[in-house]
Amino acid sequence: MNLKITLLPGDGIGPEVTKAAVKVLNYVAQKFDVATELISKDFGGVSIDNFGIPLTEETLQVCYKSNAVLLGAVGGHQWENLEHQKKPEAGLLKLRKNLGLFANIRPAKVYSSFLDASSLKNDVIEDTDFIVLRELTGGIYFGEPRGYNKSKGWNTMVYSENEVERIAHLAFKMAKDRNKKVTSVDKANVLEVSQFWRNVVQNIHQDYPDIQLENMYVDNAAMQIVRNPKQFDVILTSNIFGDILSDIAGMITGSLGMLPSASLGEKHALYEPVHGSAPDIAGQNAANPIAAIASVAMMLHHTFQMTKAAEILDEAIERTLKTGLRTTDIFKEQYKLASTTEMTDAIIENFEEIYNEQALGVFTL
Q: Which does 89 bind (CB under 5 to 8 A by kind): Mn ion, ligand IPM, none?
A: ligand IPM
- DSSP code for 10: E
CA 302, chain centre distance (Å) = 12
| Residue nearer to Mn ion on the CB measure, 249 or 310 | 249
Task: Verify binding: residue 163, ligand IPM, rule CB under 6 A.
Answer: no
Please identify which residue in 243, 272, 314, 329 interacts with Mn ion, judged by CB under 5 A: 243
Q: Which is nearer to ligand IPM, 16 or 135 (CB)?
A: 135
230 noted as active-site residue: no
Is residue 233 annotated as part of the catalytic site, yes or no?
Answer: no
Dihedral sign for Cα atoms in the order 312, 316, 318, 319: positive
Distance from chain centroid for Cα 297: 11
Closer residue to Mn ion in complex, CB, 94/230: 94
Distance, CA of 238 to CA of 186 (rounded, Å): 7
**Number of residues counted as binding Mn ion (CB under 5 A):** 1
Q: Is 79 left (phi over 0), alpha (psi -120 to 50) or beta?
A: alpha
Minimal CB distance residue for ligand IPM: 89
- SS3 call for 349: helix
Question: Which of Mn ion, ligand IPM, none has residue 7 at its interface (CB below 5 to 8 Å by kind)?
Answer: none
Which listed residue (243, 314, 329, 355) is catalytic? 243
To the query of whether residue 64 is one of the catalytic residues in this protein, the response is: no
Contact between 255 and 117 under an 8 Å Cβ cutoff? The reply is: yes
Cβ neighbour number for residue 174 with a 10 Å cutoff: 18
Q: Does residue 96 contact residue 137 with C-beta atoms inside 8 Å?
A: yes
123 included as an active-site residue: no
Our finding on whether 89 is near ligand IPM (CB under 6 A) is yes
Closest to Mn ion by CB, 104 vs 183, is: 104
Active site residues per annotation: 141, 187, 219, 243, 247
| Binding stretches for ligand IPM (CB under 6 A) | 89, 92-93, 243
